[in-house]
Amino acid sequence: MSIISKDIQKAISLLENEELVAIPTETVYGLAGNIFSEKAIKKIFETKKRPFFNPLIVHISSVDELETIVAEIPEKARILANNFWPGSMTLVLKKNKNIPDLITASKDTVAVRVPNHPVTLSLLEQLSFPLAAPSANPFNNISPTKPTHVENYFKEELKMVLDGGFCKNGIESTIIGFENDEPVIYRLGALSVEEIEAVVGKISIKNKKEENPDAPGMLNKHYSPKTNTILTIDIASEIEKQQPKKIGVLAFATSLKSNKITTQIVLSEEKNLQEAAAKLYDSLHQLDDLNLDVIIVEKMPDFGLGKSMNDRLERASFID
């Protein structure tokens, strides 16, 4: 029997009983539990095999609820929340006393967002507690963007995946912290730097581990396929170098005419970065399942969502 189901009442009763449910969001699927249940939160870390020093994101149903999670809201945080929630932006702010240390890895800040998915918003509205939810993949694996990805990862370890279809943004939320009340990007993601800057002006980016000991999840290697993955601006010469291996190609917009490759996926023939981001992880999942020797990925244009995709791809691959 499949664990994938649209039964929201069942999801509610599992969560109320301190069990985990994988939930859909517009970015990626999350592995969710009641933030106030020690049992559920411990189970999240165990199921993901995630180290306890890596804190979780709290998911709430509206901007108004933010006051119950955080102790202070800087002016620019309020502006960002009002502009982009529900949406693919996570804010890291000083936490309220009632937020358990397990969620925040004992830090004095907490990460929080209002996801933009009708099923999960309805779920959150019906629950009397917020949900902690990291991406629903085992530590160091590619994030899931559809229910079968989650099912394949966890099988009987998990009781339910709440089916919300394909994640339409397909890449994790952009994480923004505050230093002296000024916003700083800690993780590039589904909300582009350009969109954020249009609202709060120039913003600094500290998404490398060296620059930002504060975001412990930003390991330099992350989001990896099992297959050896190479990121390059020049697919054709990389194919020559990799002969006679079994090669899969992930291209941005242009398909390659070559009999030296086993398979290829083109992310967006229209060169649409939004479409490419939505398909990125699913395409990596597909290629990773084909027992190839190597996956050659084309570097994306380095602006907008392309910048966020390149960030993930650099962590997944050896840059040529």
| Interacting residues toward ligand TXA by CB under 6 A | 25, 27-28, 30, 54-57, 90, 92, 104, 107, 109-111, 115, 133-135, 172-173, 175, 186, 214-218
Q: Which residue is nearest to ligand TXA (CB)?
A: 217
Q: Nearer to Mg ion by C-beta: 60 or 171?
A: 171
- In the block, tokens 């996956």 appear at 295
**Considering the complex, what minimum distance in angstroms separates the CB of residue 23 from ligand TXA?**
7
Minimum distance of Mg ion from residue 52's CB (angstroms): 15
Burial of 68: CB neighbours in 10 Å, binned 0-12, 13-18, 19+: exposed
Choice between 130 and 134, CB closer to Mg ion: 134
Least separation, in Å, of the C-beta of 259 and ligand TXA? 39
Contact of residue 308 among Mg ion, ligand TXA, none (CB under 5-8 Å per partner type): none
SS3 184: strand
Among ligand TXA, Mg ion, none, residue 150 binds (CB under 5-8 Å by kind)? none
Whether cis (ω within 30° of 0) applies to the bond prior to 225 is: no
Closest to ligand TXA by CB, 184 or 294: 184
Please state, as a whole number, how many other Cβ atoms lie within 10 Å of the Cβ of residue 105. Answer: 15
Cα separation, 119 vs 125, whole angstroms: 10
By C-beta, is 48 or 299 nearer to ligand TXA?
48
* Residues linked to residue 178 through DSSP beta bridges, in sequence order: 183
**Residue 27: which of ligand TXA, Mg ion, none does it interact with, CB under 5 to 8 A by kind?**
ligand TXA
Tokens of 166: 């394909």
Q: 192 is in the binding site of which of Mg ion, ligand TXA, none (Cβ under 5 to 8 A by kind)?
A: none
For residue 10, the tally of other CB atoms under 10 A from its CB is 14
Total Cβ atoms within 10 A of residue 254? 11
Tokens of 102: 């397990």
Separation between Cα atoms, residue 37 and residue 75, nearest integer Å: 32
Q: How far is the CB of 244 from Mg ion (least distance, A)?
A: 35
Residue 238 binding: pick among Mg ion, ligand TXA, none (C-beta 5-8 Å cut-off by kind): none
The sign of the dihedral angle between the CA atoms of 10, 13, 16, 20 is: negative
243 neighbors 258 (Cβ within 8 angstroms):
no
Is 37 or 116 the residue whose CB approaches ligand TXA more closely?
116
CA distance readout (Å), 313 to 153, 192, 218, 283, 305: 20, 16, 13, 12, 12
CB closer to ligand TXA, 116 vs 232: 116
Residue 173 binding target from Mg ion, ligand TXA, none, CB below 5 to 8 Å by type? ligand TXA
Least gap, CB of 168 to Mg ion (angstroms): 18
Which one, 24 or 248, has the nearer CB to ligand TXA? 24
- Minimum separation from the CB atom of position 143 to Mg ion (A): 6
306 binds, among Mg ion, ligand TXA, none (CB under 5 to 8 A by kind): none
In the complex, the smallest distance separating the C-beta of residue 32 from ligand TXA, rounded to whole angstroms, is: 8
Measure the CA–CA gap between 256 and 228, rounded to whole angstroms.
Answer: 20
CA 63, 67, 68, 72 dihedral sign is: positive
* Cβ-proximal residue to Mg ion, closest one: 135
For Mg ion, give the closer residue by CB, 135 or 145.
Answer: 135
Structure tokens at 190: 């589904």
For the bound state, the minimum distance from the C-beta of residue 200 to ligand TXA, rounded and expressed in Å, comes to 19
Interface with Mg ion by CB under 5 A: which residues?
135
Closest CA to 135 of 210, 217, 257: 217
